[in-house]
A and B are shown apart, each in its own frame.
Chain A
């Protein structure tokens, strides 16, 4: 399967713990995006990479959130000191420099107890 993959698919953690999610984009895609989606809502943009450079961060991305894409391939999203309000589906997408549509992974569902 050459689509976008995300791991883990589900994560349950206790409040205050740190979690890290991984996204592997489509191999030839230079652009990578992270979104957060809560029930009944559309995705909310979190951050965007072009190759290894993080070019945009949403105000939603508090200082507890950090994302990296060190070699311009896979990306990680870390949430430190998780809070119950962080419970959501975290979506990763990628796109090429030529095309405008973004291709999404299946998401990582985070539950903070």
Chain B
């Protein structure tokens, strides 16, 4: 079965420190990979995507993600965390083997940045 795993329910980071939110996936073929962020009482916002090319992709709000094909991972990173980064982060995958465009989602990781 195709799946996306976010192994940490919650990540705590001090403001100014680097952060990493982990994501691994199990899908057939070479999928498209996405990160979204969800703030309280707001919709999901697109952060970044990996389609092909450079394994390090840059996105909104200073976030970046590194694609590792051998480890089937797509970890989200930021060099210096801000308190305003505190939110729920979702990793999503679109398997290319299917004709539809649905995304398979991880369960989410709550990121807490402490001042």
Which positions in A face B, CB cutoff 8 Å? 4, 31, 33, 40-45, 48, 55-56, 58, 91, 93, 95, 100-107
B63 contacts partner chain A, Cβ-Cβ < 8 Å: no
**In the complex with contacts A104-B45, A107-B43, A41-B107 CB distance below 8 A:** yes
Range class of the B interface residue count: 20 to 34
Q: Are B100 and A56 in contact (CB under 8 A)?
A: yes
**Across the interface, which residues of A come within 8 angstroms of B111, CB to CB?**
none
Q: Are B107 and A101 in contact (CB under 8 A)?
A: no
Which positions in B face A, CB cutoff 8 Å? 4, 32, 34, 36, 42-46, 49, 51, 90, 92, 94, 99-108
By beta carbon, the residue of chain B nearest A45 is B102
Q: Are A106 and B43 in contact (CB under 8 A)?
A: yes
**Across the interface, which residues of B come within 8 angstroms of A33, CB to CB?**
101-102
Q: Are B45 and A42 in contact (CB under 8 A)?
A: no
**Chain B nearest CB, measured from A8 CB (Å):** 14
**Across the interface, which residues of B come within 8 angstroms of A106, CB to CB?**
42-43
